[in-house]
Amino acid sequence: MPFHTANVWIHRRKDKIMIQKLIQKIQKTHAPIVVGLDPMLSYVPAHIQKRAFEEHGETLEGAAEAIWQFNKGIIDATYDLIPAVKPQVAMYEQFGVEGMKAFKKTCDYAKSKGLVIIGDIKRGDIGSTSEAYAIGHVGTVKIGEHIYSPFTEDFVTVNPYLGSDGVKPFLKVCKENNKGAFILVKTSNPSSGEFQDREIDGKPLYEIVAEKVAEWGEEVMGEDYSYVGAVVGATYPEMGAALRKIMPKNYILVPGYGAQGGKGKDLAPFFNEDGLGAIVNSSRGIICAYQKDPYKEKFSPVDYADASRQAVLDMKEDLKNAFVK
């Protein structure tokens, strides 16, 4: 929906810095949880697929409609329990333009429910290319006399492999629009150590990246935390403490909970003494709960969203272990 340029700047001045909004929603829900909306077609219950394919055929449009309806059900069942969702853009790109329409619908609908949107895009390039990625996902683009916000996420994930040239355009756009970015520091996948653990001048590479994140973060501070956060996997809690010390003012997005092995008791090092500083992602553990123990015995595929809600409640309870001294 177009809106006049003058209104954009008025709106921006009134906007709350997004990191503050995220923190307030975490405090309100007592849940440092983000639900990863990473739908594969195989995750979508048969009755949703059937309805989508009857309407649109077994086409890319039909697949996109199925994942959108699947997402909508999960959002409806969980939005009052959580502060944020994190759609992974690749899961939508696989269905082409129709999939990206589903991505946009998902972001807009989640926002209408009051959720913070973390776009898991893991983009990273240089100069104008990186800025274009940032504008598309967390910025605005002017067309004639109108300004549009293409995808409306509140945060994005950024790959720092190209260095400051690839990161600073994101920071510029985030600062202009009161948005934020999570920079990949130590990821949760098994082979992350092939590069990230390599030592340079006596330090592992992930610590060097963390130092840069802390440096970049000082340039775009909110009240207590920076617009710039870090991605550090739950599967490496022993590294969490060291990285927390390096990045005391940077929020940490923690993937790898649940399906990848991370548990609440392992996550204490990621949080600060104030109980803040981290938000924990679960994707398959929540959106596929109806397919897994112990939920599949209690919830049918028709009740998949109820299973997801129960998985969030169980995760919320488990995360209390992160604060048990």
CATH number for the domain that contains residue 55: 3.20.20.70
User: What mean pLDDT value characterizes the chain?
Assistant: 91
Select from 284, 278, 248 the least CA-distant residue to 266: 278
Residue 9 lies inside a defined structural domain of this protein: yes
Task: Please determine, for residue 156, whether its predicted confidence score (pLDDT) is greater than 70.
Answer: yes
The whole-number pLDDT of residue 188 equals 85
Residues 101, 111, 122, 296: which is the catalytic one?
Answer: 122
**Whether 262 contacts 253, CB under 8 Å:** no
Give percent above pLDDT 90 in the chain: 82
Task: Please determine, for residue 77, whether its predicted confidence score (pLDDT) is greater than 70.
Answer: yes
Distance CA 236, CA 253 (A): 13
- Summarised one tens digit per residue, pLDDT across range 281-322 is 999 999 999 999 999 999 999 999 999 999 999 999 999 877
Which band of pLDDT confidence, cut at 50, 70 and 90, is reported for residue 6? Answer: very low
Residue 65 lies inside a defined structural domain of this protein: yes
* DSSP state letter for 221: B
For 24-28, the CB contacts below 8 A with 24+ separation are 25/83, 25/84, 25/114, 25/115, 25/116, 26/83, 26/276, 26/279, 27/276, 28/83
Residue 325 lies inside a defined structural domain of this protein: no
Residue 164 lies inside a defined structural domain of this protein: yes
**Whether 18 contacts 155, CB under 8 Å:** yes
Which residues are CB-neighbours of 203 under 8 A, at least 6 positions away? none
Give this prediction's pTM. 0.92
Lowest model confidence (mean pLDDT) among 13-27, 42-56, 113-127, 210-224: 13-27
Of 258 and 198, which is predicted with more confidence?
198
Distance CA 92, CA 87 (A): 9
The tally of domains found in the chain comes to 1
Widest distance between CA atoms in the chain: 60
36 token code pair = 């990863």
The whole-number pLDDT of residue 262 equals 64
- Summarised one tens digit per residue, pLDDT across range 220-272 is 898 899 999 999 998 878 888 899 999 999 999 999 887 555 678 889 999 99
Structural domain harbouring 134: 3-320
Identify whether 122 is a catalytic site residue.
yes
